[in-house]
A and B are shown apart, each in its own frame.
Chain A
Amino acid sequence: MSRQVVARASEVVPGTSKIVTVKGRDIGIFNIDGSYFALANRCPHAGGPLCSGRIVPLAMSDGPGHYRLARHQEFLRCPWHGWEFDIRTGQSWCDPHSTRARQFAVTIESGAELVKGPYVAETFTVSVEEDYLVIELAG
């Protein structure tokens, strides 16, 4: 397991995302109300750049002709075919069991803790005054 520092926490505010490259792999980091989630930037349907899709709410209905939105800023629409993915779990809303984007563990850590090691920060100088997003990767 290696812990990679990929971004400053301040770069990913609630309702936004950032795509980072870790060991040659593109990963999207999302912030939902202060909690962070990370998904592979590869749609399990047809390989599209999933994480560059729009962050959207979930359209729901109590019956034909009725429309409402729920779970604002918690879903990702693939920029290719528009399939909806739950950012929290990576699951396709329409096919939660078989269609799932790969998830990564992402945590927020203070610079002060990080400098105690071990971590990999290819593009960052870790400062004790800031918080950082850290992704765990195998190998």
Chain B
Amino acid sequence: MNVPFQHAGASQHLMIVDCDIHPAYRTPADLHPFLPARWREHMTTFGEHLRQGLSGQLAWPRMMAAGMRLDAFPEAGPPGSDLELMRRQHLDANGVEYGMLMQLSRGGMEERNLDFAAALSRAVNDWQLEEWVKPEPRLRAGIVVPQEDAAFAVSEIERRANDPAFVQILISPRASDPLGHRRYWPIYEAAQRCRRPIALHVQGYSGGHASTGSGWPTYYMQEHYATTTGMQNTVTSLVFEGVFERFPDLKVVLIEGGFTWVPSLCWRMDKHWQRMRKETPDLKRPPSEYVRDHCWFTTQPIEEPEVPAHLADVISWLGWDRVMFSTDYPHWDFDHPQQAFKFELSEEQKRKVFRDNAKALYGLT
């Protein structure tokens, strides 16, 4: 049974912050105005150079219409490509005060040609600004950068640093090395300096490794879950490589990777860190403390335990200030703000999860 989100007696909906919205290109040519001629031609002639066998499609086909809500298709273009529909169907309908854009494709994060990756990164950031944030003041962009080219990534971050339209820095958690690796540290240093969180949204594109430590899944049902185990590995790397010790003001948001695994992983990291301490002398505190101080987690796809209140157990350990609501509009496994939680939240918990945690993290008023 669903517990009504709107408290009986409340005069209006709580305005929410949606921490995961996916805009889309109507066609790949949407990026052309933002690409230099050389790269326009490259895109047409050679296209993206990714680490996968099929061109323009994933090797685990999605279930619903290419992974989208069936009712989110505009007249022309894929779901997420029509601002009018997004406004009507989501921003207006669901009381979204601020929405964080997650543009995952053709931004260079997974592109093997690093020169092309740089051009894509610039283009996708310009595209977010012109096509989405400027016409729709509720939306905020993320600085999409190719993490494998740290020098360029830093330059792009610095280029956007003074623009409040960009509230965070997007890199892939499925990179070519675990994200704690020191070759990514210049990016964290820039993020800390520019006071933007690092946003890690789960990625379907490989950075060069199988999606599990024992090879490739067979079914989409497995691949869907592999994003969660991948996030666990990413957190582990950031902690144990000392990223949070070295960059004490760094904030990291983990998006669409689930969050109910966080307590268990923290307990596991603490236990084995304690035993193996001599291996990582630069860590001054238990791993769980770093996670609680530096990491935020978005809610979608929210778990639906057989006993809904079990979810509250997990969040109570994690902290009600660490969890931020997200819809993942317009994907198929989208969470509706009024239906996502199947147990009653207190007014304070609602405000935190649906609005205040994100506002505080992103500096929104």
Interface residues of A in 43-102 (CB under 8 A from B): 44-49, 52-54, 77, 79-82
| A82 touching B334, Cβ below 8 Å | no
Q: Provide the residues of chain A in CB contact with B70, threshold 8 Å.
A: 52-54, 79-80
List of B residues within 8 angstroms of A79 by Cβ: 64, 69-71
Residue B256 interfacial (CB < 8 Å): no
| B338 interfacial contact with A, CB 8 Å | yes
Distance (Å) between the CB of A77 and the closest chain B CB?
A: 8
In the complex, the answer to whether A46 meets B339 with C-beta atoms within 8 Å is yes
Chain B interface bracket (under 10, 10 to 19, 20 to 34, 35 or more):
10 to 19
Contact A46 B340, beta carbon cutoff 8 Å: yes
Tell me the count of chain A residues lying within 8 A, CB to CB, of chain B: 14
Query: A44's closest neighbor in chain B, by CB?
Result: B2
B338: A residues at CB distance < 8 A: 47
B335: which of A46, A53, A77 is its contact (CB, 8 Å)?
A46
Please, which residue of chain A has its CB at the minimum distance from the CB of B339?
A46
Question: What is the CA–CA distance of A45 and B2 in the complex, to the nearest angstrom?
Answer: 8
| Bound CA span A8–B332, Å | 33
Report which of B2, B69, B340 forms a contact with A80, defined as CB distance below 8 A: B69
Which B320-344 residues sit within 8 Å CB-CB of chain A?
Answer: 332-336, 338-340
> Cβ of B64 and Cβ of A82 under 8 Å apart?
yes
Assess A47 versus B339: contact at CB under 8 Å? Given A80-B334, A81-B332, A82-B332: yes
- How many whole Å from B325's CB to the nearest CB in chain A? 14
CB-defined contacts of A48 to chain B, threshold 8 Å: 69, 71, 336
Residues of B within 8 A of A49 (CB): 71
B336 lies within 8 A of A47 (CB): yes
B63 interface residue per 8 A CB criterion = yes
Chain A residues positioned under 8 Å from B63 (CB to CB): 82
A residues near B336, Cβ cutoff 8 Å: 46-48
The docked-state distance in angstroms from the alpha carbon of A48 to that of B63 is 17
Instruction: Give the residue of A47, A52, A82 whose beta carbon is less than 8 angstroms from that of B71.
Output: A52
- In this complex, what residue of B is CB-closest to A49? B71
Q: Cβ of A53: which chain B residues have Cβ within 8 Å of it?
A: 70
Residues of chain B within 8 A of A77, CB atoms compared: 64
Q: How far is the CB of A53 from chain B (nearest CB, A)?
A: 6
A34 nearest CB across to chain B (Å): 27
CB nearest to B70 among chain A residues: A79
Whole-angstrom CA separation of A53 from B335 in the bound complex: 17
Interface residues of B in 58-81 (CB under 8 A from A): 63-64, 69-71
Chain A residue at minimal CB-CB distance from B338: A47
Residue of B nearest to A99 (CB): B1
Q: Which of B2, B70, B333 has the largest count of A CB atoms less than 10 A from its CB?
A: B70
Minimal beta-carbon separation of A65 from chain B (angstroms): 11
A48, A79, A80, A81: which has the most chain B beta carbons within 10 Å? A80
Q: Which residue of A lies closest to B336 (CB)?
A: A46
Given contacts A49-B71, A81-B334, A82-B64, 5 further A-B contacts (CB under 8 A): A46-B336, A47-B2, A48-B71, A79-B70, A82-B332
What 10 A-B pairs have minimum CB-CB distances, sorted nearest first? Answer: A79-B70, A46-B339, A46-B336, A79-B71, A82-B64, A47-B339, A80-B69, A82-B63, A49-B71, A47-B336
Q: Which residues of A contact B (CB under 8 A)?
A: 44-49, 52-54, 77, 79-82
B residues sitting closer than 8 Å to A (CB atoms) are 2, 63-64, 69-71, 332-336, 338-340
Q: List 21 A-B contacts (CB under 8 A).
A: A45-B339, A46-B336, A46-B339, A46-B340, A47-B2, A47-B336, A47-B338, A47-B339, A48-B69, A48-B71, A52-B70, A52-B71, A53-B70, A77-B64, A79-B64, A79-B69, A79-B71, A80-B71, A80-B332, A82-B64, A82-B332
